[in-house]
Amino acid sequence: MAQIKEYQKICRPMEIKPKKSLGVNLIDSLKCFKILKANKDTHLVDVRTKPEWLFVGVPDLSIINKNAIFISWQDFPFMSKNNNFEKEIANAGLKKNDHIYFLCRSGQRSLEAANHMIKKGYDYCYNITDGFEGDKNSRNRRSTINGWKFNRLPWIQ
């Protein structure tokens, strides 16, 4: 009996604690939603423009008792970088050790925003690689291959 307990002690799974990320973590929208649902200190930041939010739709996190945060990475209509981005992130109450998931149309602007925030000292930044609308199909249409909408995650318009 003592041998079994000793064996169990030696062979139990190691507890692995997450280390500070040295770069942007990549994740798809399905995994992101599961994590947002399961973890309190996780936040979704939609970095698209106001017209995209109004005319394409936005993630609806109300069923998991959260709210998406809307901060444009680029200013419409000229699509110049939002120079107040970091300040707006801080004003939204996000802390440098929170897990922040960045979302755009298809994963490019959100990657830029996540990289920027890593450089500003935020520890856990994630790029939602398939974005809200996803990649284009052979007919140049989005929301047909992948993305938040395609995966039928909650959204409203």
**To the nearest whole number, what is the mean pLDDT of the chain?**
89
Kindly report the pTM of this predicted structure: 0.84
Residue 43 has pLDDT above 80, yes or no: yes
Say if 139 falls within a structural domain. Answer: yes
Strand order in the sheet with 42-46: 25-27, 124-128, 99-103, 42-46, 69-70
Cis, peptide link before residue 77, omega less than 30° from 0? yes
Residue 26: partners with Cβ closer than 8 Å, 6 or more residues away:
126, 127, 129
- C-alpha 16/C-alpha 125 separation (Å) is 19
Establish if 114 belongs to a structural domain.
yes
CATH code, domain with 142: 3.40.250.10
Q: Taking 60 as the threshold, does the pLDDT of residue 57 lie above it? A: yes
Q: Number of folded domains in the chain?
A: 1
pLDDT (tens digit, 9 = 90+) per residue, 84-131? 999 999 999 999 999 999 999 999 999 999 999 999 999 999 999 999
SS3 assignment, position 46:
strand
Instruction: Give the range of the structural domain holding residue 121, as residue numbers without chain letter.
Output: 18-156
Residue 10 forms part of a structural domain: no
Question: For position 18, what pLDDT does the model report?
Answer: 40
Q: With respect to residue 122, please indicate whether it lies within any of the assigned structural domains.
A: yes
**Which pLDDT score, from 0 to 100, does residue 22 have?**
55
